A = this chain, B = another copy of it.
């Protein structure tokens, strides 16, 4: 029996490959079970097909702009084949369980042009990834080990184009393996932006080509707790193969204590009783050398990280050290800022944004920068991290009214933990429930799950992140009306979590129960 999945072309993107209507096959009884996040439409029938690992293959359609040799797709086919047929690839496959001669041919059409050698970006279509994704989630095994899939129509596209996860590699160092594992799990939940909060106060693990002292003096250890250029390339490449962008953050002028160890005169010396106290504050905005250094650093960063965005931070700047420093105060006078230090911060951030603009990068900054002033270029993306729904809704209104694009992170600070099923909190967020026009709502380009590192390193990252982050993933991908009920979502998420465990992701349980295959990684 030959089955061909039909694929038609898409409508509103410049895609790497269109896959708007995808006929796949799925278990009728298990409709949508374990499919996470929920597609925009999924219609499954009870008509089921036997899949034979021996006869199954992914193929390129004749009209496809991408053909064999397209690294991203070739690698994805191989990866997904192993995930779809785990017994077969692990050698546990029993030939006797597969006497059926059915054959599935899955064709991928790539219209317009191929992006096989590029990096995922803002306008990447995510449709081609979906075909393998859904097959992965829909194939099931019966009790005899045979693989089946039910006839299923899926029509899908993401609700938001920016679906990110932040990892913080400064408060604790995360070995590269932990980052790669997170990228694997991100792809399973259709996250497409890895926001790498790579440096901060406690440590500077990024090994800069231009300023090697930043890590040799600012990392927890200059050899074992750093990311070399090759480590960074490995992360970016692993992400690219999974349709994930890597958005680096070099947060300043606050959160820079570790920078000061390897770069003299960068931080502001704090004063006490008229003399330097020996402690240091934020980056010194009053020295020309600061901007020279930042321009050089960002020039390197803009080459090392191919994504069109660079995150500039700009959050939580403590003014007390600036206030204490007579040279900074003199600079304030000279610039006509009076005693308004928000103007000094704004001045600093404008200079940094100008540096990245000159490098043809889009800046993304934490909300503080918008709160302090509105002279920020219109193409800057704002990142909301503070407060309760009431306060982030107000911020969303204000920012989008000013015509700015916004990423919402505030409701998804997933490092905060509490007892019980707190995934409900991440699931029931309504990102567009603020007062504003339709045009304003379109400016909300997505959301981000933040895993700050105060209490997290490689020992507990994965179970703390998954499947809790998956709740946010569905909110950012799926139709809100179809996914408004946590009780309906619960068994599907529980099933999805078992699939993560089966794929080697140490995802924690949601509640009492079990998986067919429990985690054995101990």
Contact = CB atoms under 8 A, between A and B. Distances in A.
Interface in A149-183: 171-173, 175, 177-178, 181
A177 to B, nearest CB: 5
A522 B459 CA distance: 8
A335 to B, nearest CB: 35
B514 A220 contact: yes
Nearest to A203: B514
Q: Please tell me how many copies of the chain the complex holds.
A: 2
Interface stretch (A65-73, A231-239, A411-419): A411-419
A269 B506 CA distance: 40
A122 interface: no
A508 B417 CA distance: 14
B417 A455 contact: no
A522 B416 CA distance: 23
A462 B462 CA distance: 12
Given A514-B220, A514-B225, A457 B509 contact: yes
Contacts of A459: 462-463, 501, 506-509, 519
Given A175-B520, A419-B417, A512 B454 contact: yes
A518 B420 CA distance: 29
Interface residues of A, number: 46
A420 B416 CA distance: 8
Q: Which of A177, A456, A522 has the most chain B CB atoms inside 10 A of its CB?
A: A522
A11 interface: no
28 contacts: A171-B512, A172-B509, A172-B514, A175-B518, A175-B519, A177-B520, A178-B522, A181-B522, A202-B513, A203-B514, A220-B514, A221-B514, A225-B514, A417-B419, A420-B455, A454-B511, A454-B512, A455-B510, A456-B509, A457-B509, A457-B518, A458-B518, A459-B463, A459-B506, A459-B507, A459-B508, A460-B464, A460-B508
